[in-house]
């Protein structure tokens, strides 16, 4: 499992909600070679906040990931539903491009960590934004 993204628009001002509400782009979820999810207009930092909160909850045991966006009425934009019997996650999306394939806990965590690291690096180098600081503030709320 891996997330691929591309920032399409970035706000001129990053104060307040601007960074979260106006950093948009494409987001894809690949399970092996198959694109399960591929969507435009995703609020990439909003998604990062949801992932970070999920990763923190995941430390206490497997829990569902559920991402619904302030930009879309349909939901879930993307979810990972935990199946305790199989000890794996099944992806779900209103915009799924393929049938869901099971994802191990380790693979799901690794993909989330990688997305946060890659987005954080791009935000730091291209825009001078510290994603970790943004995530810390969001987790406090």
CA distance 23 to 131: 12
Higher pLDDT, 25 or 140: 25
Q: What is the pTM of this model?
A: 0.94
Tens of pLDDT, residue by residue over 74-102, are 899 999 999 999 999 999 999 999 999 99
Rounded Cα distance, 130 and 91, in Å = 29
- Mean pLDDT, rounded, for 26-45: 96
pLDDT attached to residue 57: 95
Detail the DSSP E strand segments found in 10-104: 24-31, 34-43, 65-67, 78-83, 88-92, 103-104
* pLDDT at site 141: 61
CA distance 111 to 51: 10
Write down the pLDDT at residue 72: 85
Q: Dihedral of the CA atoms 97, 108, 74, 25 (nearest 10)?
A: -80
């Amino acid at each position: 499992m891996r997330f691929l993204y591309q920032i399409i628009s970035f706000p001129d001002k990053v104060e307040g909600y601007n960074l979260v509400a106006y950093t948009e782009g494409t987001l894809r979820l690949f399970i092996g070679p198959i694109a399960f999810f591929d969507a435009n207009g995703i609020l990439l930092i909003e998604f990062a906040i949801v992932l970070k909160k999920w990763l923190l909850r995941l430390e206490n045991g497997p829990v569902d990931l559920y991402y619904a966006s302030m930009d879309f009425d349909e939901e879930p934009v993307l979810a990972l539903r935990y199946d305790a019997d199989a000890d794996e996650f099944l992806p779900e999306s209103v915009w799924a491009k393929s049938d869901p394939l099971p994802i191990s806990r380790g693979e799901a965590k690794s993909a989330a960590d990688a997305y946060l690291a890659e987005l954080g690096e791009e935000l730091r180098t291209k825009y001078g934004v510290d994603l970790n600081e943004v995530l810390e503030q969001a987790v406090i709320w």
